[in-house]
Amino acid sequence: MSNIKLFQSKQIRSVWNEEEQQWYFSVVDVVGALTDSSNPTDYLKKMRKRDSELGTYIGTNCPQVNMLTDTGKNRRTLAATTKGILRIIQSIPSPKAEPFKQWLAQVGSERIAEIENPELAQKRIRDTYRAKGYSDEWIEQRIRGIAIRDTLTDEWKKRGIKEGKEYAILTAEISKATFGITPAEYKKLKSLDRPTENLRDHMTDLELLFSALGEASTTEIAKTHDTYGMKENSSAAKAGGKIAGDARKALEKKTGRAVISKTNYKKLQEKDVRKQLKENNSYNN
């Protein structure tokens, strides 16, 4: 499970290793957060040259782990566990070192608690979205969609689909059959130009609903037909997406309004956009 965490507004890429039950953090991101360097990669190189013991430690204990770059691509990135990061920050003369240690402890304890009690993870998600200005109605739709997506990707994993590029290809097939456009085209429609902007975080209730319907239908078709490999699962993705696409078109015909929206929540909070849409619909009726 990949994730981006925030330390004092700085993004720290991280990956949870299920087998080892621990986080791996991007070393370059940590160095950047603690030093405010404009080139943390170069800063890290100089650190390793200056401190030979640190260089040896990093070479022995810090593996290359796949993480998302700013361009949205997976790249192998130098990463370290909590123990490794604590060793590295010993060599960084920064007043942020102690707060960062406390932050690491908090991140670790929260993850352990969420494993023991999954309801805590859902509470954290709800609290995060509420803080960003999303309504409770939208949040419940989003959480339900996350659960449906997780079920689908678990099914793909069992059926020989490789995480990453193949997941993206199948997701695009579902989106094209559901909405008539790929996720990349959808992001462009909504003016989401940064790789870190999540398309579904800018979807309306109905967009989330039909996304979930397409993915849930795909899961059921894959199970029913016992699909395996890209060819069979691609057919299942198109069929599942078509079910959602047909339902979307039927609703649009009945209401006279398009489900697909250019709306995003970059400038206005979701609650404000929801209020505007309700007022517009009332006026039109």
160 and 260 share a domain? yes
In this predicted model, which residue has the larger pLDDT, 167 or 129?
167
Number of domains in the chain: 2
Which of 57-61, 95-99, 202-206, 218-222 is predicted least confidently?
95-99
Choose the final residue of a domain: 116, 151, 168. 116
63 and 156 share a domain? no
203 and 280 share a domain? yes
Average pLDDT over residues 241-250: 98
50 and 138 share a domain? no
161 and 95 share a domain? no
Q: Which residue type does 255 have?
A: T
Task: Write the burial class of residue 118 (CB in 10 Å: 0-12 exposed, 13-18 middle, 19+ buried).
Answer: exposed
182 and 144 share a domain? yes
The residue to which tokens 């029913």 are assigned = 224
Q: Give this prediction's pTM.
A: 0.61
Q: Which residue type does 97 have?
A: A
96 and 202 share a domain? no
Determine the structural domain holding residue 90 and report its residue range. 2-116
75 and 157 share a domain? no
Average pLDDT over residues 253-270: 89
Which residues are CB-contacts of 216 (< 8 A; sequence separation ≥ 6)?
148, 151, 152, 240
CB 260 within 8 A of CB 207: yes
Question: What pLDDT does 280 receive?
Answer: 61
Choose the final residue of a domain: 116, 135, 161. 116
Average pLDDT over residues 236-256: 97
Average pLDDT over residues 9-28: 81
Question: What pLDDT does 205 receive?
Answer: 92
Choose the final residue of a domain: 77, 99, 116. 116
139 and 229 share a domain? yes
142 and 100 share a domain? no
Tokens encoding 97: 């070192």
Sheet hosting strand 22-26, strand order edge to edge: 2-7, 10-17, 22-26, 74-80, 64-68
99 and 219 share a domain? no
Q: Burial code of 247-272, b = ≥16 C-beta within 10 A, e = fewer?
A: bbeeeeeeeeeebbbebbbeeeebbe
| pLDDT digit string, tens, across residues 116-158 | 555 656 777 787 788 788 888 999 999 999 889 989 999 999 9
108 and 123 share a domain? no
